[in-house]
Amino acid sequence: MADAHTTAGDEPPPAPGTQGPTRADALRRIAAEVSGRHDLDGLFRDVIDEAFTLFGVDQAGLWLFEDGPTPLHIVAQRGLSQEILDIVSTLPRDAQTAGMDALRDQQVQVLSGDLGATVPRLRTIYRRAGVRTICFVPIVFRGTSLGLLVLYHLREYAWTPEETEVARAFADHMATAIGNARLAESTRTMADRLQAISELAGRLNRLQDVEGIAQAIVAGARSLIAHLALSG
């Protein structure tokens, strides 16, 4: 963690074990980076870096929560075994795990002790990896779960309410970034579709023969289908 340095007239450093100013600085950095940022991959990595600094985690992962029967897709991680990455990618939407519960309830969940609040095969893999405490932080934007930030300790770690609030604040900033990026992409996609329709209308207005009109309609339909495929 970053050392606190003071000079004459400065406030004294926080007491050992407290990281209030450091966490506040981290939140300000993340908030500033989110503003107008479309480099989501870089933002995801930055958040994981901050988690290592602030909470002393040993491993961390960030998954997006998407459509489909196995909705968790890793987008950033540090230190996680391939075995953990593989099994999480196969978890069904209705899995009775602490992580899925966090997404369904949209509440931070902490798993510790015997790790009993998860499915046996996942618990076995966690124990084999030496994981002792896990904090699951859902990423929620306007009532919709978008992803899951997961923070792992290889020792018993007592998450305080303040720390879970800071982790949740990180997730809220990420939710804003993801939501804004998706909105921007949706706007670009709609503009592309309208442009394709406008170009088709212009070509039809210049054509007089039936065969030419039919060919233009086919070409226009292909263009629209291509835009739909890219946005889907």
The more confident residue out of 187 and 178 is 178
pLDDT digits (tens, 9 = 90+) for 4-48: 333 333 434 444 344 444 677 776 776 666 555 567 787 788 888
Q: Give the span between the Cα atoms of 104 and 79, in whole angstroms.
A: 26
CATH number of 20-183: 3.30.450.40
- CA 20, 39, 45: angle at the middle one, nearest 5? 45
Phi, psi angle pair for 12, to nearest 5°: -65, 155
- Give pLDDT, residue 14: 42
For residue 155 the two structure tokens come to 């020792």
| pTM across the whole model | 0.69
Residue 77 CA from chain centroid, whole number: 11
DSSP for 158-177 reads ---HHHHHHHHHHHHHHHHH
For residue 77 the two structure tokens come to 């991680």
- Give pLDDT, residue 182: 64
Residue with tokens 């076995």: 124
- Give pLDDT, residue 63: 96
Domain ranges of the chain: 20-183, 185-231
- Give pLDDT, residue 225: 53
